[in-house]
Amino acid sequence: MEKTVLYQFLIEVPRAAAIWSVLLVLALGVLTVLVARPEPAVEKTTDQDGARLAAEQADLRRYAGEVAVAAAGAGQNAERRRTAWRVAQAELDRAWSAYGEAEAAARRLAGVAGLPAPRTPRTPAEYAARERWLHRAAMTAHWRGDLTVRQLTDVLAHRSGWDARRHPAEQEMVLARVVRDNRLAAYRSAVERERDLWRAAELATEAARSLSAEAYAAAERLRPDRLTVSGPATVGRDPVPRWRPARLG
């Protein structure tokens, strides 16, 4: 009986030891896997975050550069618009001054319209002299910009009420009224041009102001304290806007 128990003990103990050894190896293997497994995952996550942060930084730098270039272009465009408006404003002042001079001349000549015209002999030479005077006066007014080409052609062809047989005093009054009316039309045209350019300058200035503010905000997002990983599509607090350059007039 003792031999049987001893025999079974000697047989069962190695078998149990072998089983426990196998279980111990399996347990150690599982434990090793469980312990070692998080490390690659953390490293992989860290690599992904770093790559995403680098991509977001590059996207921010690219956007900031594009919007800065656009803001600079908008500023130059606004300055050109303001310069054009200032030129138009100066032209408006000159047009008003020119109209005032023409109005004064027409009024002065109208004041002497009641006086009798000087008596001159009605000869072909006299009429030829009157015609030459009218043509010279009309050409001079055209060179000053006071008569259009069509009006000058009418004078030379004696059309549209132009009569070379009239006394030069009468022709001068008619010519003064035409010059005054032309300068008034030029002044009104200058008013419209100045107003349009002022509106264009205001719009360009507002566009430049908006782009400048956006460029400043984009530069702020590039600060080191704002560059943190917060998600797959954001950097810092604000999402990266997808901007496309706008066409300015």
Spans of all domains in the chain? 1-36, 51-118+167-239
| pLDDT of 44 | 52
| pLDDT of 36 | 44
| pLDDT of 5 | 41
With a cut of 90, say whether residue 233 has pLDDT above it: no
| pLDDT of 201 | 95
CATH of domain 51-118+167-239: 1.10.287
| pLDDT of 54 | 81
Give the lowest-confidence range in 105-109, 153-157, 218-222. 218-222
* pTM beyond 0.75, yes or no: no
**How does residue 131 score in pLDDT terms, banded at 50, 70 and 90?**
very high
With a cut of 90, say whether residue 117 has pLDDT above it: no
Question: For residues 48 and 156, what is the distance between their CA atoms, to the nearest angstrom?
Answer: 87
| pLDDT of 147 | 94
Which sign does the torsion angle of CA 73, 74, 75, 78 carry? positive
